[in-house]
């Protein structure tokens, strides 16, 4: 199946029919290719988190819009939500939204326990994902969940979702709060997962990260999807600011250097490219 997620013309208002009603989505459509890393970007309040909640069934489409996830129509009468959530893992924006067990090890074990894992298999699964996210099992399994530093908490939240080995992995603000090494390790992990067939969707405010990871990007603005395509196509536009976005640092630097008279073409989108082009222009 080529598409893991297909959303069309989705709308959502929180607390509809009340004075506190707040429109979060107005007309959002997107298609996520399976086995690839896609990114959802847009300014604060654009509706990104709301859209993610539709993909893992925390919100269900009512009247407006169609949401299909891993071949299932989420408006279907016979929808098995439990099954859907086993296949779709969501790391929420704030780790506090998702961690609830007293000890870190138990929190991470919660998902795989639900899947029926026990004993050594369970422990191996939990310790494995802890190592993957850079939390030493010896040091952290018995730590109180809410005594962790910000970055450690995010690592624990990510580990808990990885432990269920979802087919579709969604990460809201994927590397926020992680140190640079943690960010690099997370990037490597996501690429490996995608190669192994997992579909990955990230929300990120870090355009360098989007450029480094995503092969497909969707821009959400005021509840509407306003762009869908490649990083190349997105980041070479000159109207990004209208969507609350800026180009990645490499591209911003390329454009500044170009404006200052160094000949650099639009294909340059990595530090290596830039290094080579500047070397050619200035040294050779």
Does residue 148 bind ligand ATP (CB under 6 A)?
yes
179 vs 276, beta carbon nearer ligand ATP: 179
Query: Which of 75-83, 107-115, 146-154, 186-194 is the region at the interface with another protein (rule: CB under 8 A)?
Result: 146-154
Q: Report the C-alpha dihedral over residues 252, 253, 256, 258, rounded to 10 degrees.
A: -110
Q: How far is the CB of 77 from another protein (least distance, A)?
A: 35
- ∠ CA 73-76-77, nearest 5°, is 160
Q: Least distance in Å: CB of 208 to ligand ATP? A: 19
Task: Tell me the C-alpha to C-alpha distance, in Å, between residue 132 and each of 127, 163, 192.
Answer: 9, 10, 12
- Per-residue binding letters, 94-113, with another protein (x by CB under 8 A): x-x-----------------
Alpha-helix runs per DSSP H in the chain: 48-55, 81-87, 104-114, 119-132, 137-140, 150-162, 180-195, 207-213, 231-235, 249-259, 271-282
- Quick note: the x/- pattern for Mg ion over 130-149, rule CB under 5 A, is -------------------x
Which of Mg ion, another protein, ligand ATP, none sits in contact with 44, Cβ below 5 to 8 A by type? another protein
152 binds ligand ATP (CB under 6 A): yes
Pairing assessment for the beta strands 66-69 and 72-73 based on DSSP bridges: antiparallel
Question: 3-state DSSP call for residue 10?
Answer: strand
Strand partners for 73: 68
Closest C-alpha among 76, 96, 72 to residue 86: 72
Residue 150 near Mg ion by CB under 5 A? yes
- Nearer CB in complex with ligand ATP: 56/175: 175
Q: Say whether residue 184 binds ligand ATP (CB under 6 A).
A: no
Which residues sit at the interface with another protein, rule CB under 8 A? 22, 42-46, 93-94, 96, 134, 144, 147, 149-152, 155, 173, 176-183, 205-207, 241, 244-246, 249-250, 253, 256-257, 260, 262, 271, 274-275, 278-279, 282-283
């Amino acid at each position: 199946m080529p598409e893991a997620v297909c959303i069309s013309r989705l709308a959502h208002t929180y607390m509809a029919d009340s004075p506190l009603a707040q429109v979060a989505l107005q007309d959002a459509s997107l298609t996520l290719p399976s086995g690839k890393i896609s990114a959802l970007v847009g300014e604060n309040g654009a509706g990104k988190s709301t859209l993610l909640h539709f993909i893992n069934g925390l919100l269900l489409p009512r009247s407006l819009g169609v949401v299909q996830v891993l071949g299932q129509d989420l408006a279907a009468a016979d929808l098995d939500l439990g099954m859907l959530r086993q296949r779709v893992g969501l790391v929420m924006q704030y780790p506090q939204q998702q961690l609830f067990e007293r000890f870190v090890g138990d929190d991470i074990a919660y998902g795989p326990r639900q899947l029926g894992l026990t004993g050594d298999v369970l422990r191996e699964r939990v310790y494995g994902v802890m190592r993957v996210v850079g939390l030493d099992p010896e040091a952290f399994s018995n730590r109180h969940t809410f005594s962790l530093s910000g970055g450690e908490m995010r690592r624990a939240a990510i580990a808990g979702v990885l432990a269920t080995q979802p087919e579709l992995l969604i990460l809201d603000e994927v590397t926020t709060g992680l140190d640079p090494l943690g960010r690099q390790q997370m990037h490597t992990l996501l690429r490996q997962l995608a190669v192994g067939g997992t579909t990955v969707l990230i929300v990120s405010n870090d355009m360098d990260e989007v450029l480094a990871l995503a092969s497909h990007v969707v821009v959400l603005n005021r509840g509407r999807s306003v762009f869908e395509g490649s990083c190349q196509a997105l980041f070479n536009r000159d109207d990004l600011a209208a969507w609350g976005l800026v180009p990645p640092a490499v591209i911003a630097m390329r454009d500044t250097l170009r404006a200052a008279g160094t000949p650099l073409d639009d294909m340059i989108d990595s530090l290596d490219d830039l290094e080579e082009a500047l070397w050619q222009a200035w040294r050779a």
